[in-house]
Amino acid sequence: MPVAIDRTTPIPLVPAPSILEESARRFADRPALDFLGRKTSYGELARLVDRAARGFQQLGVKKGTRVGLCLPNCPYYVISYFAVLKAGGIVVNFNPLYVERELKHQIEDSGTRIMVTLDIRQIYPKVAAMLEAANCLERIVVCSMSGSLTAVKSVMFNVFKRSEVVAIPDDLHHVRFERLLASQGEVRPVEIVPEQDVAVLQYTGGTTGVPKGAMLTHANITANTAQLCRWVPEISLGQERMLLVLPLFHVFAMTVGMNFGLAVGAELFLLPRFELEQVLKTITRKRPTLFPGVPTIYTALNGAAEQGAWDLSSIKVCISGGAPLPVEVRARFEQLTGCHLVEGYGLTESAPVATCNPLGGAVKAGSVGIPMPGTSIEVRSPLDPAIRMEQGEKGEICIRGPQVMAGYWNRPEDTAAVMFDGALRTGDIGYIDEDGYIFLVDRIKDVIISGGYNIYPRVIEEALYQHPDVAEVVVIGVADPYRGQAPKAFVRLKDGHAATPEQLKDFLSGYLSRIEMPKQIELRAELPKTMVGKLSKKELQAEEAAQAAPVPAHTA
Ligand code: AMP
C-alpha cells in the first residue's frame, strides 16, 4: 500500500458546513466557482451561504426541515446546499429531469416542505404543479437564470437551448432567491450532532423498485470528503481547478466533485450539462487539473480527442466511479492527457466512495482498488452474511466505515435488509486478492443463471471491450427456453467501424467459455444511459421482457 496515504489519524466527524467555512477562511480571495464565466470567490460564497441560511430560517427552516434542491449545476445549487445545512435543514436532492410522478413520490416520501428550483420552462412548471399535487410542499424558492449569480449572456441560452425563462407568480407560495439573500440578522446557530443528524436524503434504488432515501449524516459527508483529501496528498491546496459536469444532485458529484473540490480550495467550473464539444472547449480554455467522471464520459472524450485538436494536457487527476472503467478506456485517456485516472467504487449508501485505486501506488487492472482510510471491506456469504469468505473467494462486498449511511428514511425493514452488524451489504459480488485489492465480479441481481451456472455479465462486457471496434457494451440475461436464462449483448461500435455480430462472436470465442457466449449480439447506434451517464440495463431488460411476454389473446 502506498505510504503517502494517512491511514492512522482518526477521520474527523464534523458538521458539513465546515467544509466550506474552513476553505473560506484559508482561501477567501481565491475563486470558488466559475459558472459560464461568472466567478464567485470563497469569501463571497461563504457570505452568500450565510445570507441564504438566514433567509431559510426566516422561511421556517429549522433542525430537520426537508428542503429540496431541483437544480442543474449552477451557483444556486452550491449556495442552497450549504445554506440549508447551516440553517439546520436536510437537503433532498432532486433530479431536474424527473417527471411529475417521480417528483411527487420523492416530495411526499421525504416530506419536502420547500423546493429550490430554477425559473426555466423545462423545470419550473412541473415543480409548481407539486404545490397542488403534493400535500407537504408549501413553498418554492425560485432562482433566476437571468439573475446576478449567473452569466447574463447569450451563452446561457446556448446551454439551455430551447428553454426560456418563465414568469413566476407573485404570491405567498413563491419566494425569489434574491429575497432570501436580502434577509436581515444573524444565522441562528443550530447544534448538530454529526454522527446522528441527517444532512442529505439521497434517493436511490430506482432501477429495482420504489426509490428510497438514503440518510447521509453530516459525519458521512465530511468523513468521505476527508477520506478523499487523504487520497490525494500531492494536491496543491488552493491551487487546483476542477471541471464539474456530473450533476451535483447525484452523490458522486456531490462528494467527489463539490465537497472534495471545495475542501481543497479548488476553483470549480460548473457545467449544467454534458455536451461533448463544450466540455472539450472548457478543458482547452480553462485548463482544469481535476476532472471527476464516469466511464462513459472518458469514453466519449477519448473518441473526440482522437479526432480534434483539443488540448487536454492540464488534467492531472481523475477519479472515475459509478460503473466499471474498461481497462483500455483508462489507458487511452491517460495517454491522451498525461493524467492519473483511477477507478473508485461505492454506492449512494456509502456517500459514496468506499474504495479507490491509489494515485501514488500500484493500480491493478480491473480492480476497484483498496479501502479508503478508516474503512474496511468484508466479503461475506450472500446467503448468510454471518459467514466470512476466505481471501480470494467470491462473496457479497460489505462496507464498514464512517461514510456508511444511517439507514433508509422511514424504511426500517429495508434498512435492516442491507445492514449486517454495522456493515453495509452492497449487493455486489467480489473478492479481495492477496495484496488487499478488491475486484468486483458483478451485482448479485445482474448475475445470469444459465443451465444452473452463474454467468457474470461483466466478464462478457470486458471481453467485448477488448475488440478494437467496440465503443460501449451492455450484457443482460434474457429468457431462454432450455437454460432458463442466456446472455445477450448490446454493442455500440466506434464511429467508422463495422464489425458484424458474427465477427464479434468469433472474437469472443478466444475469451469466453461456451456457456458464457452471448446467445445474441445486437448492434445499436446508442445505448441507454442513466442521468449520470452510467450505461443502464433497465430499459433493455424491459424491452426484452416485453418481447418475451405472451401476446394477450383478443377478446371478442
Ligand atoms: P449508485 O448507488 O446508484 O451510485 O450505484 C452503486 C452501484 O454502482 C454499486 O453497487 C455498484 O454495483 C456500481 N458501481 C459503482 N462503482 C463501480 C465500479 N467502479 N465498478 C463497477 N461497478 C460500480
**Percentage of residues of the chain with pLDDT beyond 70:** 94
Residue, of 386 and 36, whose pLDDT is higher: 386
Q: Is the CB of 204 under 6 A from ligand 1?
A: yes
Q: Is the CB of 143 under 6 A from ligand 1?
A: no
* Mutation to probe ligand 1, out of 200, 202, 330, 440 (largest number of atoms < 8 A from CB): 440
Q: Is the CB of 358 under 6 A from ligand 1?
A: no
Residue 268, amino acid: L
Report yes or no: 114 and 149 within 8 Å, Cβ to Cβ. no
Q: Is the CB of 214 under 6 A from ligand 1?
A: no
Query: What is the average pLDDT across 239-257?
Result: 97
Residue, of 411 and 305, whose pLDDT is higher: 411
Report pLDDT digits (tens) over 63-97: 999 999 999 999 999 999 999 999 999 999 999 99
Q: Which of 521, 450, 516 is nearest to 481 (CA)?
A: 450
Indicate whether 161 pLDDT > 90.
no
Supply the residue whose CA is at minimum distance from atom 20 of ligand 1. Answer: 324
Q: Which of 185, 225, 174, 273 is nearest to 12 (CA)?
A: 225
Residues 6+ apart with CB under 8 A from 344: 256, 319, 320, 321, 353, 354, 355, 356, 357, 368, 369
Question: String of b and e for 19-54 (b: at least 16 CB within 10 Å)?
Answer: bbbbbbeebeebbbbbbbebebbbebbbbbbbbbbb
Q: Is the CB of 322 under 6 A from ligand 1?
A: yes
Q: Is 490 helix (H, G, I), strand (E, B) or coil?
A: strand
Q: Is the CB of 357 under 6 A from ligand 1?
A: no
User: How far is the centre of ligand 1, averaged over its atoms, from the C-alpha of 347 (Å)?
Assistant: 6
Q: Is the CB of 320 under 6 A from ligand 1?
A: no
User: How far is the centre of ligand 1, averaged over its atoms, from the C-alpha of 426 (Å)?
Assistant: 9
User: How far is the centre of ligand 1, averaged over its atoms, from the C-alpha of 28 (Å)?
Assistant: 36
Indicate whether 555 pLDDT > 70.
no
CATH match for 18-192 among 3.20.20.150, 3.90.850.10, 3.30.470.20, 3.40.50.980: 3.40.50.980
Residues 6+ apart with CB under 8 A from 446: 456, 457, 458, 476, 477, 537
Q: Is the CB of 323 under 6 A from ligand 1?
A: yes
Of the pLDDT bands very low, low, confident and very high (cuts 50, 70, 90), residue 490 is very high
Report pLDDT digits (tens) over 128-160: 999 999 999 999 999 987 766 665 444 444 555
CATH number, domain 448-548: 3.30.300.30
Query: What is the average pLDDT across 94-119?
Result: 95
Q: Is the CB of 446 under 6 A from ligand 1?
A: no
C-alpha cell recorded at residue 271:
457545467
Most confident of the ranges 143-157, 255-269, 272-286, 362-376: 255-269
Supply the residue whose CA is at minimum distance from atom 9 of ligand 1. Answer: 347
The string of DSSP letters for 392-404 reads T--EEEEEESTTS
Does the CA dihedral 66-208-321-368 come out positive or negative? positive
Instruction: Describe the crossing of helices 18-26 and 218-231 by its angle, rounded to 10 degrees.
Output: 50
Residue 159 pLDDT: 53
User: How far is the centre of ligand 1, averaged over its atoms, from the C-alpha of 76 (Å)?
Assistant: 28
Closest ligand 1 atom, CA of 443? 12
Residue 96, amino acid: P
Residue 554 pLDDT: 46
Our measurement of the distance from residue 126's CA atom to the centroid of its chain's CA atoms, rounded to an integer in Å, reads 24
**Distance between CA atoms of residues 556 and 550, nearest Å:** 18
Closest ligand 1 atom, CA of 530? 3
User: How far is the centre of ligand 1, averaged over its atoms, from the C-alpha of 534 (Å)?
Assistant: 9
Of the pLDDT bands very low, low, confident and very high (cuts 50, 70, 90), residue 484 is confident
The string of DSSP letters for 407-472 reads -BTT-HHHHHHHEETTEEEEEEEEEE-TTS-EEEEEEGGG-EEETTEEE-HHHHHHHHHTSTTEEE
Report yes or no: 176 and 142 within 8 Å, Cβ to Cβ. yes
User: How far is the centre of ligand 1, averaged over its atoms, from the C-alpha of 202 (Å)?
Assistant: 15
Q: Is the CB of 227 under 6 A from ligand 1?
A: no
Closest ligand 1 atom, CA of 349? 2
Of the pLDDT bands very low, low, confident and very high (cuts 50, 70, 90), residue 242 is very high
* Out of 145-149, 425-429, 472-476, least confident range: 145-149
CA angle 330, 331, 332 (to 5 degrees): 95
Q: Is the CB of 295 under 6 A from ligand 1?
A: no
Closest ligand 1 atom, CA of 252? 4
Its CATH class, for the domain covering 273-444, is: alpha beta
User: How far is the centre of ligand 1, averaged over its atoms, from the C-alpha of 433 (Å)?
Assistant: 19
User: How far is the centre of ligand 1, averaged over its atoms, from the C-alpha of 266 (Å)?
Assistant: 26
Query: What is the average pLDDT across 357-369?
Result: 88
Q: Is the CB of 347 under 6 A from ligand 1?
A: yes
Q: Which of 441, 443, 461, 433 is nearest to 518 (CA)?
A: 461
User: How far is the centre of ligand 1, averaged over its atoms, from the C-alpha of 529 (Å)?
Assistant: 14
Report yes or no: 493 and 500 within 8 Å, Cβ to Cβ. no
Residue 401 pLDDT: 98
Any idea what DSSP says for residue 7? -
Supply the residue whose CA is at minimum distance from atom 19 of ligand 1. Answer: 345
Q: Is the CB of 536 under 6 A from ligand 1?
A: no
Q: Is the CB of 530 under 6 A from ligand 1?
A: no
User: How far is the centre of ligand 1, averaged over its atoms, from the C-alpha of 353 (Å)?
Assistant: 10
**Structural domain spans, the chain:** 18-192, 273-444, 448-548
Residue 112: exposed, middle, or buried by beta-carbon count in 10 A (0-12, 13-18, 19+)? buried
Indicate whether 412 pLDDT > 50.
yes
Residues 6+ apart with CB under 8 A from 431: 379, 389, 391, 392, 393, 394, 395, 438, 439, 441
Report yes or no: 263 and 34 within 8 Å, Cβ to Cβ. no
User: How far is the centre of ligand 1, averaged over its atoms, from the C-alpha of 195 (Å)?
Assistant: 24
Query: What is the average pLDDT across 277-304?
Result: 93
Supply the residue whose CA is at minimum distance from atom 22 of ligand 1. Answer: 323
User: How far is the centre of ligand 1, averaged over its atoms, from the C-alpha of 120 (Å)?
Assistant: 32
Q: Is the CB of 356 under 6 A from ligand 1?
A: no
Residue 40 pLDDT: 96
The string of DSSP letters for 257-284 reads IIIHHHHTTPEEEE-SS--HHHHHHHHH
Average pLDDT, the chain: 92
Report yes or no: 211 and 204 within 8 Å, Cβ to Cβ. yes
Indicate whether 533 pLDDT > 90.
no
Residue 155 pLDDT: 47
Q: Do domains 18-192 and 273-444 have the same CATH topology?
A: yes
> How many other C-beta atoms can be found within 10 angstroms of the C-beta atom of residue 259?
25
